Structure 1
Amino acid sequence: MSARTPSGQAPSRRGWAQALVVASAGLIAMVAVAALGLWAAGAADLPDGAFARVVAATVVTSVGGVVQFSGEAGGLAGTTAELTVIPLSVTLAGALVTAAGFLRPLRHRAPAGPGELGAWAGRVAVLWLLGLLGLALAARQTFRISLGDSAVRDIADLFGVTPEVGFTTDVPSSLLLGLLWLAGVLALALLVSRAAPLPGRLERLREPARPAASAMVALLLAYVGLGLVVGLVVAGRGQPADTFAVLLLGLPNLAWLGLTLGLGATWDGRVEGPFALPVPPALDQVLRSSEVQALNVGTLAGHDGRWWWLVAVAVVLVAAAAFGAAVRAPAGTRLWRHAAHMAVALALTVLMICLTCRVSASYGLSVLGIGDLGGDLAGELFLRPRLWSALGLAVLWGAAAGLLGGLPARAVRRRGAGPRT
């Protein structure tokens, strides 16, 4: 938001300059995190200068963009490839930087009305989309597939088959989904911020929802913080490059998966082929099977009993989030209403995790109908939640935490803490 002239009109040139800083900072943060993560994963050695294009594709997918894979191996062969995963470390970095920049001009002053707030958000959105468009257009590359030592390689050499796989971006879909992502980030930033007053009616609508929303943001960040500590400890014990690649690309993917597992949720998954998963050994052992496996605390604890700690961590952090929300709730909020707010907020949080942490990946090659033989020629990886049971558990946990957290919060407020709005 730009400063006002004596006439009350915001100078649009300065407003666009501020919006450019906000949009650029968010995209630069995402590019930097993606580049560092891919460099740690060894992507800097990709041929034909593909590293920059892979970085661009990673940023596009981090905001929900669509990257399409295609294969070409001549008339006698076929290749397939698919990858659906959101690198949530990149997503989180961009969301935090963009939200902070968007809120900064609004601190401690209310816009004159929804129109002024909408104009500020619109400027940021236009410039951010232009940056995303550039990344989407750059995210395209083709690679040759190594066949290794196999019968399929001999057949491919006989017929002169050169298998290739490439990726490109569905630009319109990526821009639309990226715009929805940005709108969600800005709306959530306004919802949870105490330092950015809203005009009139919007402030009254935000007041009852902000405590639970802020508690969920704090809960998610707390899990990421714990995951970072665990990751740094693991990095000190060996394979630091792989560990840092996971931290810089998929830390929230694992940390927030741990939140749902601690709540009792079950995910279905399977790993087949040479996919190397830089994840805890028990997780890899459960998923690496020829059949779909149920992934939950029980199956993980069957390989390592320390996984039961996920339940204890969920109890402590969800209860702490509920207590913090109750302390900040408007005066006079009834206990049952606080429990309902927490139930809805935790269910929406788990829904977001279930939608963003699912993974699907596969690739394969066949020549004259011979292929997908395993080894280096084919592989499949997927992980998907049992959505409705996860949401049901989130509602129960949220309601229980709301009730239990609201009781001590009453005592704190009676001693003079009072609500913070």
Structure 2
Amino acid sequence: MLPTENAVGPGRTATALGPWVDALLATVVTLLVMTALAALGLWLAGAGDLPGSALPAVVAATVLMAVGVPVQLTGGAAFLAEAHGGLSALPLSVTLLGALTLARLFLRPLRLRAVARPGELAGRAARTAVLWLALLLLLRVPAHRSFTISTGDPLADSLGSAFDAAPTVGFRTGLLPTVGLGLLWLAVVLLLTLVTARGAPLPPTLLRYRAAVRPAAHAVLTLLLCAVALGLLAGLVSATMDGHPRETLAVVLLALPNLAWLALGLGFGASWHGSAGGDLGLPMPQLLTDVLRTSDGRDVTLDLGALTAQDGRAWLLAVLVGLLLLLTGLGAALHSPPGLPLWRYAAQLAGALAFAMLLIGLGTRISAEVGLSLLGFDAAGGGVRLDPRLLLAVPLAAGWGALAGLLGELAARRLRRDTSATRT
């Protein structure tokens, strides 16, 4: 009996540890690829020149920002200076790569199955959440850092040196935001994975909803990824022609989806409002900065008209987005069950695109402000703010989604008839 028990024991142990190993692989690899992308992008942006070898700390803070955790800026110089501000923005290149990596690795152990028990999915999600949270809390340690900065004003810098009170700026992340927003990011990624991935297994009770939700959701996901791919192509071309390859590649590696999805929303007719002042060193294209920057710091509207006023070629966004929407409607219809009423195709894509527009709006929000006062005088600082007008953007996206779903199904019916005629 003893050899049998010994043979069974390790097998049971391996079976019990298997899901934990899967979760550990998924979380560690996800964090590593996010860290690598953030490090390369920040290095290209010039963060390697920060004093005190602050690059690793900035990288850690950037990865935390990529999962939605805001960064608070603090600092000072004895009794002479005080730094204040905060940064809430998603470096969506890092966010997107992390989400795609996590989704792929989470589904990898389930790739050969169409059905999964609710308890099994919940257990795998819970293990992933525990390990993911532990890694984020470890990442908070290097993300707390202070370093000396220049005010940009020679007189202020001289005063700081004379009184041995050179200004310092530090950044930190709160414990509760790290836990709450880190887990929320994970939950959203896993939920969207199960909804959009064609090979993702579902509990038996949800299989009947798969045909109604997944084709439209997958088509919209494809639309978002195509927008990023086109943005990547445009960024690489720009990097070879604009004379500033490092800055352009930094934008690509840190904020490509921010710009690509912002352009997608602008092509829908959506708008944002905000302002830009000072110099925060954020990786932003010049065209966007030109629209947002005003002499008096007042809010301006960012829409297709404002972009076209700066660059006449911006109207081509509307044409490109229209073509992408038609292809999205066709793709959703071809992967949906045939024979449904037309309004069903329209409603499904309208709902999926409206939800995507909501995520785009929330993901492209920017709230960044840095201030430094010395002896009561403002010595340096700047700010960028960009907020979506979701009450307009979401209904617009739903309307365009309904039209694309309708036209896509009409085109799909024509293709099905032509295919049937060719076979006969």
| TM > 0.5 fold call | yes
**SS state of the match for residue 310, structure 2?**
coil
Alpha-carbon distance change, 27 to 154 in structure 1, aligned in 2, over 3 angstroms: closer
Distance 2:194 2:419 in 1: 28
Separation in 2, partners of 1:66, 1:371? 24
1:204 counterpart SS class: helix
The one-letter amino acid of 1:293's match is V
- What SS does the aligned partner of 2:141 have? helix
Structure 2 gaps, min length 5? 1-8
1:42 pairs, out of 18, 40, 46, with 46
- Residue 396 of structure 1 and its aligned partner are, at CA, apart by 1.5
1:74-95 CA-to-partner distances (Å, cap 9, x unmatched) read 3344322221211000001111
| Match in the other structure for 1:191 | 195
- Decide whether aligned partners of structure 1 residues 197 and 84 sit closer, same or farther in structure 2, where only a CA change above 3 A counts: closer
Match of 1:232 among 233, 236, 251: 236
CA contact (8 A) 2:51 2:148 kept: no
* Residue of structure 1 in register with 2:330 after alignment: 323
State how far apart, in whole Å, the 2-side matches of 1:212 and 1:145 are: 49
Give the Cα–Cα distance (whole angstroms) in 1 for the partners of residues 336 and 223 of structure 2: 17
Which has the larger displacement, 288-297 or 151-160? Answer: 151-160
Question: Is 1:411 the counterpart of 2:418 in the alignment?
Answer: no
| Identical aligned residues as a percent | 49
- Name the counterpart of 1:214: 218
CA distance in 2, matches of 1:88, 1:298: 25
How far the C-alpha of 1:392 sits from its partner, in A, is: 2.1
Q: Would you say the 8 A contact 2:330–2:411 is kept in 1?
A: yes
Q: Cα RMSD between the aligned structures? A: 2.3
Distance 1:415 1:201, change over 3 A: farther
8 Å CA contact 1:152, 1:366 repeated in 2: no
Residue 167 (structure 1) aligned to one of 151, 165, 171: 171
Distance 2:98 2:256 in 1: 14
Contact 2:83–2:373 (CA<8 Å) still a contact in 1?
Answer: yes
Residues 275, 299 of structure 2: 8 Å contact kept: yes
Q: 2:86·2:368 contact (CA, 8 Å) conserved in 1?
A: yes
- Report the residue type matching 2:192 in the other structure: L
Greater shift in the superposed pair: 287-296 or 362-371: 362-371
Match of 1:97 among 79, 98, 101: 101
Q: Report matched runs for 1:344-383 at 5 Å.
A: 344-371=351-378, 377-383=380-386
* Distance in 2 (alpha carbons) for counterparts of 1:25 and 1:151: 48
The alignment's TM-score, normalised by the length of structure 1, stands at: 0.91
Cross-structure match for 2:309: 302
Q: Provide the rounded CA distance (Å) in 2 between the counterparts of 1:252 and 1:111.
A: 32
In structure 2, distance between residues paired with 1:279 and 1:146: 22
Among 263, 268, 277, the residue aligned to 1:258: 263
Q: Equivalent residues in 2 for 1:72-83 (5 A)?
A: 72-83=76-87
Matched residues in 2 for 1:160 and 1:199: separation? 65
Is the contact made by 2:267 and 2:317 (CA closer than 8 Å) also made in structure 1? yes
Paired letter, 1:43: A
Pairwise mapping of residues 114-129 of structure 1 onto structure 2 (< 5 A)?
A: 114-129=118-133
Shift of 1:156: 4.7
What SS does the corresponding residue of 2:325 show, helix, strand or coil?
helix
- What secondary structure, in the 3-state scheme, does the structure 1 residue paired with 2:73 have? strand
Partner of 2:6: none
SS in 2 for 1:244: helix
Using the TM superposition, give the Cα deviation of residue 161 of structure 1 relative to its aligned residue in structure 2, in angstroms: 4.0
Alignment correspondent of 2:135: 131
Cross-structure match for 2:344:
337
Match of 2:293 in 1: 288
Amino acid across the alignment from 1:81: G
1:248 is aligned to 253
**Partner-residue secondary structure (3-state), 1:47:** coil
Whole-angstrom distance in 2 between the partners of 1:263 and 1:111: 37
Following the alignment from structure 2 to structure 1, what is the Cα–Cα distance between the partners of residues 407 and 101? 34
1:28–1:159 CA distance, 2 compared to 1 (3 A): closer
Residue 396 (structure 1) aligned with residue 403 (structure 2): no
Describe the SS at the equivalent of 2:131: helix
TM superposition shift of 1:202 = 1.9
Q: Which moved more, 1:161-170 or 1:251-260?
A: 161-170
Q: Once the 2 structures are TM-superposed, how far is the Cα of residue 206 of structure 1 from its aligned partner? A: 2.7
Q: 2:57 aligns with which of 53, 56, 64?
A: 53
Q: Structure 1 residue 97: deviation in Å?
A: 0.7
Q: Cα deviation per residue 1:308-364 (whole Å; 9 max; x = unaligned)?
A: 011011101111111111111123321112111111111111111111111122222
2:23 match: 19
Q: Which one has the bigger helix percentage? A: 2
Give the whole-Å Cα distance in 2 for the aligned partners of 1:156 and 1:15.
56
CA contact (8 A) 2:267 2:318 kept: yes
* From 377, 382, 387, the counterpart of 1:384: 387
Aligned residue in 2 for 1:270: 275
Query: Do the aligned partners of residues 127 and 276 (structure 1) sit closer, same or farther apart at CA in structure 2, a change above 3 Å counting?
Result: closer
Amino acid at match of 2:339: G
8 Å CA contact retained: 1:88, 1:251: yes
User: Is the 1:137–1:169 contact (alpha carbons within 8 Å) kept by the matching residues of 2?
Assistant: no
For the residues of structure 2 that align with 1:379 and 1:112, how far apart are their CA atoms?
51
